[in-house]
Amino acid sequence: MCKPSAANPDRQVLPTNVKPTHYDLTLQPNLNTFVFYGQVKVNLDVNEDSKTIVLNTRDVKIHSATVSSVALKTESTQTATDITYDEKKDLATLTFNEAIPANTKAVLNMSFQGELNDQMAGFYRSTYKDAEGNTKYLATTQFESTDARRAFPCWDEPSLKATFDVTLVVPSELTALSNMDVIADKPYQDTGKLTGKTEGKTEGKTEGKTEGKTEGKTEGKTEGKTESASVSLKEVKYATTPLMSTYLLAFVVGPFEYIEAFTSGEYNGRPIRSRVYALPGSVEQGRHALNVCIAALEYFAKVFGEPYPLPKLDMVAIPDFEAGAMENWGLVTYRTVALLFDEKSSSIVFKKSTAYTVCHELAHQWFGNLVTMEWWDHLWLNEGFATYAGWLAVAEIFPEWDVWTSFVNEDMPRALNLDALRSSHPIEVCVNDPAEIHQIFDAISYYKGASVIRMLSSWLGVDTFLAGVRRYLRRHRLSNASTDDLWVALSEEANVDVSQFMTLWTKRVGYPVLTVEQNKGEDKIKVTQSRYLSTGDLSQDEDETVWWVPLNVLVAGKTESYTLTEKSQTFDAPSDGLFKINAGQTAVYRTNYPIDNIRALGDEIKKGPKGLLSDTTDRVGLIADAGNLSVSGEQTTAAFLELAQAFVNEENYFVWSQLSTHLGKILGVWSGQPKEIRDSLKSFRRSLFAPIAHKLGWQVSENDDYLTSILRVLAITNAGRSNDEATVEEAKKRFWEFVGGNSEAIHPNLRGPVFNIVLGAAEDEQEEHKMWEEVLKIYRDESLPSDQRLVALNCLGGIKSETLIKRYLEMSLDEKEIRGQDSFYVYSSLSANPDARDLFWEFFTEHFSRLHDKFSKSLSLFGAAVKCAVGGFVSLDRIKEAEAFFADKDTKEYARSLEQALEGARVNTHWVNRDHALVADWLRDNAHKFA
């Protein structure tokens, strides 16, 4: 169990002798030399007599430091006599001759410099091409979780909130943005104050003569002269921020254009100015995101009961960006593909992802920014809630998208699949070392957190739940809070002890599988809970948690609201077996029914809307449970294939999507089985999807609704990848027309499916090479929307040619060819390709040091690469080889990713070894139905 901050001596936190209350920060980035200079004045509350001040820095050199205190008797200001660094712990210690007295206020003034790095962390540079094709640079920030210290010396912990005054000195022609609105914009005369010409001598005294002279005299003068002589500068000053954590501060400098809109002001009390900023020529693609933004800002003000507290909300598309987006207060930054959507040229699947990402980040403006987690143990409070609230807003703005079924189909499985591993972790994780934080930005914090919140809100009632959230936000506004604080507010609102049962869900790893037993003819069921592991080998000491589990038993005409609170209990149920546990799939568990009950539910599926499972989420949930229980061995893969046949007349996208996921997984894990088995599995998949593909056809109509449009994409993909002749033939025909110049030949929604189908169905290596080069041209075409280019990049991995696979891998190392953030598309594509896995592993081991260095400051990307390299294995020999390779490596920074990948590979290996004969028999016995 995690201890609270005050009771946890292992947590690496700063001394509490002083506390910052306000920062006055000035920065001057140079986009030619990639150096930035800065000055920061920090107002401090002095809690103890202090001769030393310890704060966070990383890759920042402090040139000078002085402290002023009204309580000093001899002089008001003194200079630091020594500045030392602990690089392992990201600390700088400033030493002064005279103690600063306790219970006084002081001002610490520091000048410093740092590097605009290319690692997508801290204050960094991002590349783009201008109209002439020249490489240019912009400056931006990514501070979460602990990288504000890369931009300026600070107290870089979430609970040490302060206000900020920010001033940026930048070239006059560029746009400079920060969290708040601009209050002054004037020409800047370079006096050398920031660029080191006057600060070098002091640093010589504190840091060593040689270093001080070099930085102060040579580099400082060069930077100052170069920039001021050749570039007209301006000084942009921003309004003071509210109290906020350092990780939410942000600044962006570049040649941006913007579009603007205002919210209605109905719930915020005033219209909120909202803008989308993007590089020249692409800003109109931000219109969809802007429309979502102005709707979501009013919606959240309504449901959270608090107006948005800042004067404006800017959203910026950044070319190089590690995550999907970052919720900096008032200045949200995004990967280009996560913010920009071209109504004419983008695939419709990106419309929903853009809307969701915007809503997720705007939910953070309240849940995370207005009220912030006390420490990183409570990261899920930020991410789990923003995931839930993000979908809540999308459901309000786009009700036709049926987003809660989408959540059950996509987000819940991400959480449950990871949490079914021994190497998973609780929602609340003890974080002592800041180096560990990036490893918990995963499916547990985001999607299990959101799933548990959805379960709780469903049980309490959404209105009661949101009333409790409003109470929590009011109570902790502009402060910090823990998970227990949320439970207290919800308990007060609902008049039940929420923490009593929710603590099990947040502080214990895993979730239960409910095993249902029913004797024939009896109107009772016995329900027993145990921890679900996808390995299927649960030991007694791993099965100690007894979860509080809402059953919600669906029977004809109603839902019975039972709750399982013991290891095993008996409940009423129809004797004919026609019931489904977890109605609406609102709770977090798997259900293991007897085979007779599964067959009875299969018959209900065939009845369509008249059957018991008329709600789409219930059909999706039944497939998800059966598919995953076949992996762990509680059910068989043959039984899952039998259940899948019941959906032959299904019409809903989400049901087909869930079937596609599990059939695709079976084909991937069975990739090493004999060809006739693989072909039979493809025939089975073809028998399900080809009729829908043929029915919907290739012609996209403006009258098609959203779900029809994405069902067409799914059906054509599955039919084509299952070698349906008509689909493959049409895909090839349209492909050659498209690359020949007819852009109408393939609708943007269908370009990814077509590229995948034709590369997978190439008749020989020569045709494969020819097609691959054409898809590569599409990826390289910078006039296309970013989502279309990334679709092409991902499809390039679906090949058999050893030459092309090696070339694709080499491209991933070349930043001019593939941005570091986009290398994941390469690695995930090859991991899913059985013909490429061995070559990918060979490449990964050969270039391990280079890859580690490449992603050393973006370790979540390196962890993803590790998962891709290892996770696709379905051979115990390969797994042993991977274990041996990592045995002598320091894996601390990516240990979770590695453990999860190895365990996932073991799960798949045991699964196919256990079930391959049963599947072969089933395919042989049923071949006449789908051959």
Lowest-confidence region among 48-57, 400-409, 427-436, 592-601: 427-436
Give percent of the chain above pLDDT 70.
95
Q: What is the dihedral of CA 434, 440, 441, 444, to 10 degrees?
A: -160
User: Could you tell me if 183 and 247 are in contact, meaning their C-beta atoms sit under 8 angstroms apart?
Assistant: no
Query: Given this model, what pLDDT does residue 6 score?
Result: 52
- Here the tokens at position 589 are 């568990």
Overall average pLDDT of the 487-512 stretch: 96
Higher pLDDT, 163 or 519: 163
Residue-level pLDDT at 215:
35
Q: 79 - beta bridge partners?
A: 66
What's the mean pLDDT in 26-55? 98
Amino acid 441: pLDDT: 86
Residue 711 clears pLDDT 50, i.e. is over it: yes
pLDDT at 431: 87
pLDDT at residue 150 tops 70: yes
Q: Is pLDDT of 672 > 80?
A: yes
The pLDDT of residue 721 is: 97
For the ranges 295-299, 490-494, 602-606, which has the lowest average pLDDT? Answer: 602-606
Residue 355: exposure state from Cβ atoms within 10 A (0-12, 13-18, ≥19)? buried
Lowest model confidence (mean pLDDT) among 268-272, 609-613, 651-655: 609-613
Query: Which of 170-179, 267-276, 660-669, 848-857 comes out lowest in average pLDDT?
Result: 848-857
Q: CA 785, 365, 304 angle in degrees (round to 5)?
A: 120
Instruction: For residues 217 and 479, give the distance between their C-alpha atoms in angstroms, rounded to a whole number.
Output: 43
In the block, residue with structure tokens 């067959």: 599
Q: What pLDDT score was predicted for residue 223?
A: 36
Per residue in 763-807, pLDDT (tens digit) is: 999 999 999 999 999 999 999 999 999 999 999 999 999 999 999
The confidence score (pLDDT) of residue 220 equals: 36
Phi and psi for 83 in degrees, rounded to 5? -130, 115
Banded model confidence at residue 858, pLDDT cuts 50, 70, 90: confident
Strand 273-278 with 257-262, pairing:
antiparallel
**Encoded amino acid at 143, one letter:** F
Mean predicted confidence (pLDDT) in 839-852: 96
**């050749």: which residue's tokens?**
230
Q: Which residues of 360-371 are buried (b: 16+ CB within 10 A; e: fewer)?
A: bbbbbbbbbbbb
Residue the block writes with tokens 């439970």: 487
The whole-number pLDDT of residue 214 equals 31
DSSP code for 407: I
How far is the first Cα of the chain from the last one, in angstroms, to the nearest whole number? Answer: 55
Say if residue 206's pLDDT is above 50: no
Residues 6+ apart with CB under 8 A from 346: 285, 748, 785, 787, 788
Stretch 621-638: mean pLDDT: 97
Region 377-395: mean pLDDT is 96
Determine the pLDDT at residue 72. 53
**Digit-coded pLDDT (tens) for 675-689:** 999 999 999 999 999
Q: 225 pLDDT band (50/70/90 cuts)?
A: very low
Catalytic residue among 157, 298, 322, 361: 361
Number of H helices, E strands in the chain: 31, 30
Query: What average pLDDT does the chain have?
Result: 93
Instruction: Check if 361 is active-site.
Output: yes
Question: How many other CB atoms sit within 10 Å of the CB of residue 134?
Answer: 8
* Residue 853: how many other CB atoms lie within 10 Å: 11
How many CB atoms are located within 10 Å of the residue 481 CB? 22
Residue 156 pLDDT > 60, yes or no? yes
How far from 590 is each of 197, 552, 660, CA to CA, in Å?
66, 13, 19
Position 173 pLDDT exceeds 90: yes
Residue bearing tokens 């400033």: 94
pLDDT at residue number 430: 87
Those residues whose C-beta lies under 8 Å from the C-beta of residue 554, and which sit 6 or more positions away, are: 579, 580, 581, 583, 612, 618
Beta-bridge partners for 177:
252
